[in-house]
Amino acid sequence: MLRLGKREFGEHEPVVMAIVNRTPDSFYDQGSTFRDEPALARVGQAIAEGAAIVDIGGVKAGPGEEVTAEEEARRTVGFVAEVRRRHPEVVISVDTWRHEVAEAVCEAGADLLNDAWGGVDPQLAAVAARYGAGLVCTHAGGAEPRTRPHRVAYEDVMADILRVTQGLAERAVELGVRRDGILIDPGHDFGKNTRHSLEATRRLGEMTATGWPVLVSLSNKDFVGETLDRPVKQRLTGTLAATAVSAWLGARVYRVHEVAETRQVLDMVASIAGHRPPAVARRGLA
């Protein structure tokens, strides 16, 4: 069982996490949800299209202008509070690696801390424990926040992913984070080149076999772009292919830009796997 906020998700229930960037320079939407009203509209649309989680981020993942903890909090805390007021049932996740920001957003109503940089701030898990929030434990290959990989190498990338993410998860449990609120994430593109991310996808079943629920953040990433030689705005087809493979291998949560398209892929895979009946079944009955 996966329990986040007021929601409980069954073993075969795929969960969509919609990305809501509170940044002026995000790689995909170039700041389209930096202002409050477009961002709130994005939240409402994502929920209507089938997202159970919204993931709010105040700092883009890649290099760029410095964003202090104070500025990150300014971009996210009040927004989290307003989303909580408007959508009391949605699971609110915040993408941050800083414990100061984590504390402020949990006070404002966040249910989940998405630590995309692999525990670089060891105090973050303690914040999740103190507030009863969930935690995403990600493999980032030891990279510093907001840096790109450079000639990174692994003897066995999946072995490293398993070692790091399970270690972070067990440490979180020891600190008091609820076991049923912890997810592990292979960290596509984070501390990895394209071949590493492809291998992590191909071998995702090794992660799901651990028993920890697995989150994948595949949406329009560089490993998709390089694999197909496509710019950011032409990566949806490749993203959905990677999503289908991840779903078949047992991933539970999907962090995405395109909610409706992802929801259809996940529903189709679930039906092929026998976990979901067809929405309509008239063929051959008339």
Is 192 a known active-site residue? Answer: no
pLDDT of res. 202: 98
Of the pLDDT bands very low, low, confident and very high (cuts 50, 70, 90), residue 97 is very high
Mean pLDDT value across residues 60-81: 95
Q: Is the pLDDT of residue 251 over 90?
A: yes
pLDDT tens, 114-162? 999 999 999 999 999 999 999 999 999 999 999 999 999 999 999 999 9
* pLDDT score recorded for residue 34: 85
**pLDDT value, residue 29:** 74
Would you place residue 4 in the very low, low, confident or very high pLDDT band (cuts 50, 70, 90)? very high
Residue recorded with tokens 């710019």: 231
pLDDT, tens digit (0-9, with 9 covering 90-100), for 163-217: 999 999 999 999 999 999 999 999 999 999 999 999 999 999 999 999 999 999 9
For the chain, how far is it from start to end, CA to CA, in angstroms? 40
Considering 42, 98, 221, 235, which one is annotated as catalytic? 221
Q: How high does pLDDT run on average in the chain?
A: 96
pLDDT recorded at residue 171: 98
pLDDT at 32: 83
Q: Is the pLDDT of residue 286 over 90?
A: no
Query: Mean pLDDT throughout 3-12?
Result: 97
Check if 60 is active-site.
Answer: no
Query: Are 57 and 28 a contacting pair, CB within 8 Å?
Result: no
Q: For position 155, what pLDDT does the model report?
A: 98
Residue at 134: amino acid letter: G
Over range 53-68, report the average pLDDT: 95
What is the widest separation between alpha-carbon atoms in the chain?
A: 64
pLDDT band, residue 31 (cuts 50/70/90):
confident
Q: What CATH architecture is 13-273?
A: Alpha-Beta Barrel (3.20)
Question: pTM for this structure?
Answer: 0.96
Average pLDDT over residues 242-269: 98
Q: Looking at 255, 263, 282, 283, which residue is catalytic?
A: 255
Which pLDDT belongs to residue 84?
98
Q: Which SS3 state, helix, strand or coil, does residue 161 take?
A: helix
Instruction: Answer yes or no: is pLDDT of 112 > 90.
Output: yes
DSSP per residue, the chain: -EEETTEEE-TT--EEEEEEE--SS-TTTTTTTSSHHHHHHHHHHHHHTT-SEEEEESS-SSS-S---HHHHHHHHHHHHHHHHHH-TTSEEEEE---HHHHHHHHHHT--EEEETTSSSSTTHHHHHHHHT-EEEEE--TTPPTT----S---SSHHHHHHHHHHHHHHHHHHHT--GGGEEEE--TTTT--HHHHHHHHHTHHHHHTTSS-BEE--TT-HHHHHHHT--GGG-HHHHHHHHHHHHHTT--EEEES-HHHHHHHHHHHHHHHTSS--S---TTT-
pLDDT at 95 over 90: yes
